[in-house]
Amino acid sequence: MTARGASPVPLHHRDLLPVLLVPAVALAALPLVGSFSTWVTLTLAGLAMGMIIFIIASGLTLVFGLMDVLNFGHGAFISIGAYAAAVLVPSLAGFLHADSLFYNLVALLALIALAMVVTGLLGYAFERIIIMPVYGQHLKQILVTVGGLIVAEQILVAIFGPVQIALTLPTAFRGALVFGDVAIERYRVIAVVVGLLVFAVMLLVLNRTRIGLLIRAGVENGEMVEALGYHIRRLFVGVFMAGSALAGLGGVMWGFYRETLTPAMGMDVMVLVFIVVVIGGLGSVGGCFIGALLVAVVANYTGFLAPKLALVSNILLMALILLWRSRGLYPVAKR
C-alpha cells in the first residue's frame, strides 16, 4: 500500500490559510500593544483560554456535525464536570496541597477522570432520554436541551446552593514562571498542555482509527454510512458520551482557571462556545481548534487595547470570518 500513500489528508489538499490566522493576528497586535512582555503575556493567556474553550467546544462540534443536534444542554456538562471535581477535592487535599508538581498532576488527573466519567454517563442518559425523541427536529432540540440545561443548573443549585464555591489551584500550579520581563502563569501552561493533548488524541482517533473514519464519514453522510452496514445510532451514543465527557474535562479546567464555581458557569460560556463552533465550521475539529484560539487571543488583545470593544469582539470576529468563508474556516463537505 505504500506506493499508493497512506496520508489521511493529502498534503497538497491541506488548507493552511486558517492555520496562519492566529500567528497573523498575534503579529499584527504586537505593534499595537507596544510592550513585548505585555504582548507575550496577553498571547499566552489567550492561548491558554483558547485551549480550554477548544476542549469544551470540540465535543459540541462533533455532536452537531455527526448527529445534527443543536445541544444547548452542553453547558450543563461543563458545570457538572466542575462540581463533580469539587466534590472529590477534599479527598485529594493531601495531593492537591503537596508542594510537588507530580502529586498535583496526579490529583488533577484524578479530578479530570472523575468529571469525565460522571459527565460521560450523564451524557448517555441525556442522549437516550432527551435527545433521542427529537432527532431531526431542530426547534424541539433547542427547547428540550435548553430545558435540560436549566433543570441541571437548578439541581446543582439545590445540591450545592446558589453561591459560588472556591476551587483553589493545586500548590504547584499557582504563581508564574518569569522569563525576564515576561510572566507566564503556571496554570496557563498546564491548560495549554492539556488542550494540545486533547487535540492530538482527537486527531489521532479521527485520522488513524476506524471509529474516527466512521465519525468523519458520518458527519458528511450518515445515511450512506448506514447503507455500508454500520449502525450510526450506536455511533451517535458513543460520540455524545465522548462530547459530554470533554465538556466535563473542560469544566474542570475552566473551574480551576476561574478558581470559583457557579451553577451557571456552563451556561455563561455557551455563547462563546457556539461562536467558536460556527467560526470553525460545524462539525470540524480542526476548525474548532483554530476558532477557539482565534476567539481567545482576539478577546485578549481587544480587552487590552479597546476595553469597550471587548464585549463585541467575538461577534465581530465571527462576522468577519463568515464574510470570508460563509461556512466557517474548515467547512465539512455536506454542510
Partner 1 sequence: MSEAPPLLNLSGVNTHIGPYHILQGVDLAVPRGALTMLLGRNGAGKTTTLRTIMGLWHASAGAVTFDGADITAWATPDIARAGIGYVPETMGIFADLTVRENLLLAARCGPIDEARLHWIFGLFPALEKFWSLAAGVLSGGQKQMLSIARAMIEPRKLFLIDEPTKGLAPAIIANMIAAFRELKKSPDTTILVVEQNFLFAKSLGDAVAVMDNGRVVHAGTMAALADDRDLQHRLLGLHLDQHQ
Binding site for partner 1 (CB under 8 A): 1, 4-10, 13, 210, 213-214, 216-217, 220-221, 223-232, 332-334
**4 vs 308, beta carbon nearer partner 1:** 4
The x, y and z cell numbers of residue 281, run together, are 465550521
State the amino acid at position 165 in one-letter form. I
Distance (Å, whole) CA 285 – CA 35:
34
Q: Which of 267, 308, 269 is nearest to 292 (CA)?
A: 269
**Could you tell me the smallest distance in angstroms from the CB atom of residue 326 to partner 1?**
18
CB distance 58 to 309 below 8 Å: no
**Distance (Å) of CA 221 to CA 86, 102, 215, 249:** 40, 45, 10, 29
Yes or no: say if 81 and 114 are a contact pair by the CB < 8 Å rule.
Answer: no
- The least distance separating partner 1 from the CB of residue 224, rounded to whole angstroms, comes to 4
Instruction: Please identify, using beta-carbon distances, which residue of 13 and 308 lies nearer to partner 1.
Output: 13
CA-based end-to-end distance of the chain? 32
Cβ at position 204, least distance to partner 1 in Å: 15
Cβ-based neighbour number of residue 207 at 10 Å: 14
Least spacing, CB of residue 226 vs partner 1, in Å: 4
Cell of 71: 445541544
Nearer to partner 1, 224 or 312 (CB): 224
3 state SS of 264: coil
**Rounded Cα–Cα distance for residues 204 and 74 (Å):** 24
Residues 6+ apart with CB under 8 A from 179: none
Cβ nearer to partner 1, comparing 163 with 228 = 228
Q: Which helix (H) or strand (E) holds 239?
A: helix 232-258
Between 1 and 323, whose beta carbon lies closer to partner 1? Answer: 1
Q: Which is nearer to partner 1, 128 or 334 (CB)?
A: 334
CB of 199 to partner 1, least distance (A): 18
Closer residue to partner 1, CB minimum distance, 5 or 94: 5
**What's the min distance (Å) between Cβ of 86 and partner 1?**
40
Q: Do 269 and 258 touch, CB atoms closer than 8 A?
A: no
Task: Answer yes or no: are the C-beta atoms of 146 and 72 closer than 8 Å.
Answer: yes
278-295 in b/e burial notation, b at 16+ Cβ within 10 A? bbbbbbbbbbbbbbbbbb
- Nearest approach in angstroms of CB 233 to partner 1 is 9
Provide the minimum distance between the beta carbon of 20 and partner 1 in the complex, in angstroms, as a whole number.
21
Give 218 or 250: the residue with its C-beta nearer to partner 1.
218
